[in-house]
Structures are given as C-alpha cells and as structure tokens.
Amino acid sequence: MNIIQQIDFAEAARNIFLYNQSAPLIFTRFFFWAFFAIVLLGYTLVYKNKNRTVRAGYLFVVSLFFYYKSSGFFFFILLLSVLVGYLTGKGIYKSRNEIVKQVLIAVSVFFNLLVLAYFKYSYFFVDSINVLFGTDLHVLNHLAVWANESVGTHFQVNQILLPVGISFFTFQTISYTVDVYRKETVPVKNIIDFAFYVSFFPQLVAGPIVRASGFVKQIYEDYSLSKSEFGWAIFMILKGLVKKIFIGDYIAVNFVDRVFSDPITYSGFENLMALFGYSLQVYVDFSGYTDIAIGVALLMGFRLPQNFNSPYKAKNVGEFWKRWHMSLSSWLKDYLYIPIGGNRNGSVFSYLSLFVILAIVLILIGNLILVPVTAVMVLVFFLFMRYSPGFKRGVDNNINLMLTMLLGGLWHGASLNFIIWGGLNGVGLVIYKFWRKISPWEKRNFWLVKIWKIALTFTFITFTRLFFRSESMEIAKTMFKQITTSFTLTIIPEVLVGYKWVFLMMLFGFVIHWLSSNWKKKIEDWFIATPLWLKVIISAIIIIVVYQSISADMQAFIYFQF
C-alpha cells in the first residue's frame, strides 16, 4: 500500500468515525442509511436474545455513536443526564419517605433544566445582566475551560454551542422520574436499559418525545414485526423523505430562505407567499423527520407515538395544538399545565412565572422607559382582579393556558420572537375558548363553514410563524411592512411565472395535506398490500426522484436547533 492509498484510507476512516460539524449524521444523508443497514445487520444477532439488556445495550452503543456523529462530544452531556435520571428514578422507587421522593424528583428536574438553561439561555442571561447593569460581560464556556485544563483539549472557551436535541432528551428524562414518582411506570431494571430509553437514535435529536410509561415496557417485550407493519414502516420512511427533501428543502432553498434573508428586496406578494411557504416547509420538515423516525424504529420492533395528525385541517387553534407536535403538546399539558392548576385556578407559580416572563420581555426590548408604564398596567390589572370577581374568574381560568404557551415559546428559544409567537398562540386559544360559547357556527358541519374555519385557523397560525421563522424582530417588522404596504396585484402573474416550480411544489404539498384521510388510507393500504418485489421497485423510483430533486447541500432538520 503506497503513501497516497494510506492517506486516502485514513481520510475515509476519519469521515466515518469522527464527528464533522459540516456533515452531521441526519436521516437524509446516504451515510445514515449505510449506518442503519449495518445497525440492522448487527441487530439480527441480538434482537431475539432472552436477556433484553443485551439488545438494549447494543442499541444504546449505536445510538451513542449516532449522537456523537450528530453533535460531537456533547454525548457526555447525554450520558450525564442518563446517570442523574437513572439514579433519581431508582431512589424515588425504592424510598418510602415522601419527602425524600420529592427531594429526588426536584434534583432530577432542577439538573435537567439547569443543563438546558446553561446551553440554551446563557447568552440571554448575560445580555440581560449587561442591559440591566450596564456591564460588558461575555459568555464563558466553563465546561470547555475545564476540559482544556484537565485533558488538554482545545475547545473554544468564548462560545457555547447548543447540543443537538437537548430539549428533547432532557424532557424525556424529566418525564421518566415524574412517571416513576406518580407510579405510572415501573422503573427500568438497570442503567443500560434506561440509557437506551433516553438515547434511542431514531427519535433522539428531534422527537417525538417518548414517555417512559409508553416505551419502557417495550424494552422487555419480544421482538415483533408483522408483514403489514413492515410495509407501513417502509411507507412512513418514503413519505418522510418525500416531505423533507422533495417538498420542504426544494421550496426552502429556492424561495422561502431567500425571502426571509432579505425581505425588503421582495414585493409584498412574495413576502406573503414565503410566509405561507414556510408554514408548509416547517410542517413537512418536522413531520417528515418523525415519519422516518417512526418507520426506522418500527423496523427494530419499537413503536413510537404519533406526532402529527394533519394539523392544517384544524378548524380552530385548540384543535391545531392537538394535531401539531402532539408529543410536546401532551407533555406540556401533563407535566406543566395540569400540575400548576389547569383551567381551575391560578397559583403562586402561575403569577410569578408570568411576572418573570414579562420581565424577560422588557429586558429583550431593552427600553427601560417601559418599566414604569408596565408597572402601572400590572397594578390596574390586579385591581380589576381584586374588585371584579368575574374578571378574576376569567383570569384564573386562562392564566395557566397562557403561561403554558409562553413557556412553550421559550422552550424554542430565549428571544422576543419566540415569546411573541407563544403569546399569540396563547391569545388565540383564549379567544377561541370564549368564542365557541357564543358562536352560532361552532357545531355546524356544512362544508363551506368547515372550509372557512380551516382557512381562518391556518391563516392565523401562518401569521404567528412570521415571528417563529424570522431571525430578528427587524426581519419580522420588515416582512410585515412589505406585506401590508408593498402588495401590488399587477406583479402577481410575473411572480407566479418566475417561481412557477416553487408554487407548483407548494400546491402539491398543500393538496396532499388536505386530501381526505380516506384517500390517504387507501394509498397507504395499497402500498402495504403490494408484494415485496413491487415495494422494492416503488421505493427505488421514489428514492431516485427524491434525491435528484436536491438543488443544494443537505438541509438540516429545522427542529435540530431546539
């Protein structure tokens, strides 16, 4: 072997086994499917083992490698979260002292939220201190400093990067300890089984958020995969690839990203269409990921929960949030909304949290003149509550709903944009709660009424995405201004022709989404019933078409950033 061959071999080995920030291991890369094929090959040796920990241990090791290839040395954070979650869960189950149990669950929740806050909100905390006290503090990565001093690494100490999927696996660990405390699930038998539960690679970095009560029992069940389930798994994987690459990436690269990066250079109509295009993109991107995750997991015998149910068919905001990111919505409901009082009444935690969020908003705005104005408004608000029982009941019935949506916004990121996005959705939910009591059309199912409700809900949700997608408030303001002041009907034909393939792709995506569930079920059932040889041919054709549609480098999934 000559020196050039040795260099090529070493380079290939580095590409396979070492983390590359510019090429993370994601479902849409061919490297992932090669990785998955090898995983399945090894899985054939362990999947029937009577000792279920052997199977769990194998999948934990490959999941750890997957996470390393996706997020580098942040897998140590994942391991630490696993260790804390396992020990606290075990302690809660074994203890007979209620105070000890409460202390342990507090440790688990506090640790996971602390890790999440450190990596996700450090910049916000530092910026807030600088605004409040006029200081010039800078972020310091204490973990990088410790690693550099201890083991001689060379990590950047003035930058804190966000580990991929940290919001998902921390929530998953919290749900485990809470479920054990509530006696809704039996703890895992050992730390390997727990590590597998937290790190299972199909859903590790972007969900769906898996509850311990629904997944842990699967660890100890026999492997099973029927012929129809195999066909459905392949169907879900193909559907996910079509959504993400063929539809989502195409409209993002060729239109949506361009407009959002510089909205002032585009007309009001183009800005509006980019906003609707992003609504489609974020859906096909995120639901495409979970479709693939569900299919990949099922091939290994594990059932993940549904995460989307045609959300743009929703007839109101409340129904939308029952159809969109269902694992997060139900998590927030069961572990936040109900524990703080649900729709019964507000608690000290509710009002204190709202006060903190209000303070965060003022800090992010950065205008201290608003502080006394806000203080007066808050005082008037509480006076109304004090002397108007009806007003107080209305607030108590809805404060926790509003708080849950605001915290849901903050879960996505500590910026004014995400808080506004969460707040708007909260306002939409509250308004609908009142409107449905007086609406003469609430229980009418006439097709024209249905279309109107769906269109109105979809338009409102799309408008809130203006703040979700924009990288800054300035971008959001500029885009809104362009839509409202620079909307010229005469240029619409020219724009439609200029971006004809983008708009045809958007039309295709929306038509498929709004197809009758019965039609979709027929297509799904037909594919499942086809013989294996025909499945292979159909899969090959779809894969060729999908990957031929790529017009730029692979686009990371949107929810990787959360």
**Which residues participate in catalysis according to the annotation?**
412
* CA 122 distance to own-chain centroid: 20
- Which residues, at least 6 apart from 74, have a Cβ–Cβ distance to it below 8 Å? 67, 161, 163, 164, 166
CB 275 within 8 A of CB 547: no
| Number of Cβ atoms within 10 Å of the Cβ of 516 | 9
| Residue 419 C-beta-side C-alpha neighbours within 13 Å | 16
* Count of residues making up the chain: 562
413 is written with which tokens? 């990121």
Can you state the angle between helices 389-412 and 416-438, rounded to 10 degrees? 140
CB 268 within 8 A of CB 485: yes
Cα separation, 20 vs 315, in Å, equals 44
CA torsion, ordered 398, 399, 405, 406, to nearest 10 deg: 150
**What residue type is assigned to position 189 of the chain?**
K
- Which residues, at least 6 apart from 344, have a Cβ–Cβ distance to it below 8 Å? 396, 397
CA torsion, ordered 14, 17, 21, 27, to nearest 10 deg: 130
Nearest to 385 by CA among 340, 416, 363, 354: 354
- Which residues, at least 6 apart from 347, have a Cβ–Cβ distance to it below 8 Å? 340, 341, 400
208 is written with which tokens? 């769906």
**What residue type is assigned to position 492 of the chain?**
I
In angstroms, the Cα distances linking 94 to 40, 91, 201 are 36, 5, 29
In terms of Cβ atoms closer than 10 Å to its own Cβ (0-12, 13-18, 19+), residue 50 is exposed
Cα dihedral 212, 214, 215, 216 sign: positive
Nearest to 562 by CA among 460, 401, 365, 421: 421
Cα separation, 109 vs 171, in Å, equals 9
Say whether 22 sits in a helix, a strand or coil. Answer: coil
- Label each residue of 318-338 as H, E or C: HHHHHHCCHHHHHHHHHHHHC
Say whether 110 sits in a helix, a strand or coil. Answer: helix
* CA 347 distance to own-chain centroid: 28
Q: 165 — alpha (psi -120 to 50), left (phi > 0) or beta?
A: left
Cα separation, 229 vs 206, in Å, equals 23
